[in-house]
Amino acid sequence: MSRRPSFPARLANGPAQPAARASTQPAARPHVPAAGHGMDSQAVRTRMVQKLGAQGVSDPRVLAAMAAVERHRFVDSALVNQAYEDTSLPIGLGQTISKPSVVARMIELLLAGSTDAKGRLGRVLEVGTGCGYQAAVLSCVAGEVYSIERLRGLHDKARENLRHFRLANVHLLFGDGMAGFAKGAPYAGIIAAAGGASIPAAWTDQLADGGRLVAPMVTATGQQALVVMEKNAGQVRQTILETVHFVPLKSGIA
């Protein structure tokens, strides 16, 4: 079930060329769809990041990653002009790309755990690849990203979307993420983009000592909330945070 995309390395310290491109002759320009992306997408992302900062995201590693990844490349062309709004958007098969503020918040929580001397996480498991956006953001802050998706159509779409970015440290897997991905374990971080009634035991089992898990979960009130779990000396400590709205965690593949 595992599949490694064969990209060589390169990510986005921001797209290369806004100013240089602006002087290109119109006839020579590639076709770019309507506003909010393309040559001015760095400016639009910078505004998005400023808003994230105003909403309380303060980790510079997260803000830099959110500024680097071109979210418009992960949504359908009809939705491109909404790509930098703080909203979830449909990505097909009844699923959604998470809101930027939620992606940023969850990765910030993940990074509050143990990181190396450079402030990077080691291996991270993402459950629910969807369109691949969050995997790309994670690739900026983690050594290796294993991202698993249960819907073949979205797994394929993510591979397609991510090809452009050539991220050598992102490994896309097709399978049921409720079992985690034992071959990549232990993980410094586990992050889920879909929520069930409990956190699968496989996830806490596959968490490294000193590692952190961030996931939505339906709590006693019947509402979904963000849950953070930290593993230390084999003990798992759980903290329940704010209410969130994620798609359901489902078992099996389709």
Stretch that binds ligand SAH, among 31-39, 63-71, 126-134, 164-172 (CB under 6 A): 126-134
DSSP code, position 13: S
Over the range 232-246, which residues count as b (16 or more CB within 10 Å of their CB) and which as e? eeeeeeeeeeeebeb
Q: What is d(CA 39, CA 86) in angstroms, rounded to the nearest whole number?
A: 20
Identify which of residues 145 and 178 has a Cβ nearer to ligand SAH in the complex: 178
Cβ at position 231, least distance to ligand SAH in Å: 21
Binding mask 77-116 for ligand SAH (x = CB under 6 A): --------------x---xxxx------------------
8 DSSP assignment: P
176 contacts ligand SAH (rule: CB under 6 A): yes
Active site residue 2: no
* Closest distance to ligand SAH from the beta carbon of 163 (Å): 16
* Chosen residue from 38, 130, 184, 211 binding ligand SAH by CB under 6 A: 130
- With CA atoms as reference, report the closest residue to 194 among 171, 211, 178, 170: 178
What letter does residue 156 receive in the DSSP assignment? H
User: Are 198 and 236 spatial neighbours (Cβ–Cβ below 8 Å)?
Assistant: no
Least gap, CB of 211 to ligand SAH (angstroms): 19
The CA distance from 139 to 242, in Å, is 25
Residues 34-53: x where in contact with ligand SAH by CB under 6 A, - otherwise, as a string: --------------------
Spatial separation of the C-alpha atoms in residues 177 and 200, rounded to whole Å: 9
CB closer to ligand SAH, 41 vs 147: 147
Residue from 49, 102, 124, 131 binding ligand SAH (CB under 6 A)? 131
| Other CB atoms within 10 A of residue 64 CB | 15
Residue 213 sits in the site that holds ligand SAH (CB under 6 A): no
Catalytic residue among 41, 98, 139, 147: 98
Among 191, 232, 187, CA closest to 207: 187
Please report whether residue 250 would count as binding ligand SAH according to CB under 6 A. yes
By CB under 6 A, residue 154 contacts ligand SAH: yes
List the one residue from 104, 138, 194, 227 that touches ligand SAH (CB under 6 A).
194
Q: Exposure of 182 by Cβ count < 10 A (0-12 exposed, 13-18 middle, 19+ buried)?
A: exposed
The values of phi and psi at residue 32, to 5°, are -125, 135
Nearest to 217 by CA among 235, 195, 236, 201: 195
**Residues that contact ligand SAH, how many (by CB under 6 A):** 25
Judged by beta carbon, residue 18 or residue 86, the one nearer ligand SAH is 86
The residues that are catalytic are 98
Contact set with ligand SAH (CB under 6 A): 91, 95-98, 127-128, 130-131, 133-134, 148-151, 154, 176-178, 193-194, 247, 249-251
